[in-house]
Amino acid sequence: MLLPPEGVVSGFGRPGATDMQVESAVSLKPYNTFGLPAVAQTLVRIASDADVRRVVDDPTFGRAPKFVLGGGSNIVLTRDMPQVVLKVEVRGMRLVEERPDAWIVEAGAGEDWHALVAWTLAQGWPGLENLALIPGTVGAAPVQNIGAYGLELQDRFESLDAVDLVTGRSVTLHPQICAFGYRDSVFKHSLAGRSVITRVRFRLPRPWRPVLGYLDIERKMTETGTAAPSAQQLFDWVCAIRRAKLPDPALIGNAGSFFKNPLVTPEQCRDIIGRDPTVVHYPLPDGTIKLAAGWMIDACGWKGKSVGQAGVYEKQALVLVNRGGAIGSEVMTLARAIQESVYGRFGIRLEPEPVVV
Ligand SMILES: Cc1cc2nc3c(=O)[nH]c(=O)nc-3n(C[C@H](O)[C@H](O)[C@H](O)COP(=O)(O)OP(=O)(O)OC[C@H]3O[C@@H](n4cnc5c(N)ncnc54)[C@H](O)[C@@H]3O)c2cc1C
């Protein structure tokens, strides 16, 4: 049980709540940013570790298969869900420690990610600004080690609390156990579907240093003649760049980048350059090379194309969109057709980024 936090606090837990909040036959359409139709037979709202334990100990739900749902911005729903859906709504954000070299901030897994980024900045604890405007919840951020504009969650991660869905035990996990990688973590492998993340702690380094070097950010620096942007400036730029490039899920259903950018060896890259010398690629410090999946999809002529009501976004080929009334199977048929044509032309298998349910 979390002790009443000290310092800057915004409402942890659900004081006095003891009953499980169980709902039946719940439409998940409003709970996924793609706006895909699916019905959850049972949905339980999780506001604390104790709520998870109640589900685990429950004679009806304890042994039933479960699916953990955050903001639904990284999932593709292809069918109704017989699993018990655990909708994570653990709240609260607070400063837990002020160290000479870092601010340690904790947030409930159900908090909105962007709200956390904006709140930490407003409190004078910068460090998350490059990750502004990524949809979804705090608790899902470690699952795929969210990243954008030269920063990944793992660069600011301290630890997290999770409850095991088999034993009901609460554990604190540190970076080594989380095994973060490119859009990857232990929560996509040995702990997939095994635990509910309830709180995440972040280490925001002091003194703050901007994370620069990303092309779009460099462009903003040149345009504005700013050599040393503040954290607020970076936050504003990232928000503006994202708004110009990505469809707002409130207006056009989508799950962000639909495919991961493939990582290849220099030999593989030479082979692909042999097929198309204009292929967009970025050498990484570890010697591998990142290929721009969006560029490859565009090169195969997919931009603006559709299968049923599922389409490829006109402004960014990496994003698949719901043109209105799409169903999950249309999205997946489109995704498979894209994978086949990219494989046929470049010999590369694109891997979907969202979780297909
Ligand atoms: C417009 C748009 C732009 C995006 N841009 C980016 C980007 O720049 N970078 C990036 O990395 N991602 C991006 N995404 C993807 C998405 O925002 C992130 O993956 C986000 O972290 C998903 O959060 P969520 O709460 O919506 O997770 P959900 O979609 O609800 O769940 C995703 C996965 O995490 C699991 N999960 C969720 N919550 C928990 C929990 N508390 N405990 C255990 N498991 C959990 C679910 O079971 C599921 O497997 C974008 C998405 C959209 C729609």
Based on the residue annotation, tell me whether 183 is a catalytic residue of this protein. Answer: yes
pTM: 0.92
Question: How far is ligand 1, taken at its centre, from the CA of residue 165, in Å?
Answer: 20
Q: Which atom of ligand 1 is nearest to the CA of 255?
A: 53
The closest residue, in CA terms, to atom 15 on ligand 1 is 74
pLDDT tier at 12, thresholds 50, 70, 90: very low
Please give the Cα distance from 310 to 166 (Å, whole number).
37
Given a cut of 90, whether residue 19 has pLDDT beyond it is no
Please give the Cα distance from 44 to 21 (Å, whole number).
5
| Cβ neighbourhood burial of 10 (10 Å; 0-12, 13-18, 19+) | middle
Q: Tell me the C-alpha to C-alpha distance, in Å, between residue 148 and each of 59, 108, 119, 239.
A: 42, 22, 19, 11
Q: List the structure tokens of 10.
A: 């915004």
Catalytic residue from among 54, 156, 183, 199: 183
Amino acid present at 92: G
Question: How far is ligand 1, taken at its centre, from the CA of residue 83, in Å?
Answer: 19
- Which of 74, 90, 183 most suits a substitution to test ligand 1, by most atoms within 8 Å of the C-beta? 74
Given a cut of 80, whether residue 24 has pLDDT beyond it is yes
Question: How far is ligand 1, taken at its centre, from the CA of residue 67, in Å?
Answer: 14
As a whole number of Å, the end-to-end CA separation of the chain is 32
Strand-pairing partners, residue 307, are 310
pLDDT tens digits along 79-128: 999 999 999 999 999 999 999 999 999 999 999 999 999 999 999 999 99
Is residue 340 within 8 A of residue 329, CB to CB? The reply is: no
Please give the Cα distance from 91 to 138 (Å, whole number).
10
Q: DSSP letter at 72?
A: S
Question: How far is ligand 1, taken at its centre, from the CA of residue 60, in Å?
Answer: 28
C-alpha closest to that of 129 among 113, 109, 142: 113
Catalytic residue from among 89, 152, 330, 353: 353
pLDDT tens digits along 236-267: 999 999 999 999 999 999 999 999 999 999 99
Element (H, E) at 355: strand 355-356
Given a cut of 80, whether residue 352 has pLDDT beyond it is yes
The closest residue, in CA terms, to atom 19 on ligand 1 is 74
Please give the Cα distance from 220 to 241 (Å, whole number).
9
Report the pLDDT value the prediction gives residue 14, as an integer from 0 to 100.
41
Please give the Cα distance from 331 to 323 (Å, whole number).
11
pLDDT tens digits along 259-308: 999 999 999 999 989 888 999 998 888 899 999 999 999 999 999 999 99
Give the binding-site residues of ligand 1, using a 6 Å CB cut-off: 33, 67-75, 88, 109, 134-137, 139-141, 143-144, 146-148, 187, 196-197, 246, 249, 254-256, 355
Based on the residue annotation, tell me whether 257 is a catalytic residue of this protein. Answer: yes
C-alpha closest to that of 38 among 74, 82, 73: 82
Catalytic residue from among 152, 201, 257, 330: 257
Report the pLDDT value the prediction gives residue 13, as an integer from 0 to 100.
38
Question: How far is ligand 1, taken at its centre, from the CA of residue 239, in Å?
Answer: 18
Q: What is the mean pLDDT of residues 133-144?
A: 97
Q: Which atom of ligand 1 is nearest to the CA of 73?
A: 26
Question: How far is ligand 1, taken at its centre, from the CA of residue 255, in Å?
Answer: 8
Report the pLDDT value the prediction gives residue 213, as an integer from 0 to 100.
84
Based on the residue annotation, tell me whether 199 is a catalytic residue of this protein. Answer: no
Q: Which atom of ligand 1 is nearest to the CA of 33?
A: 53
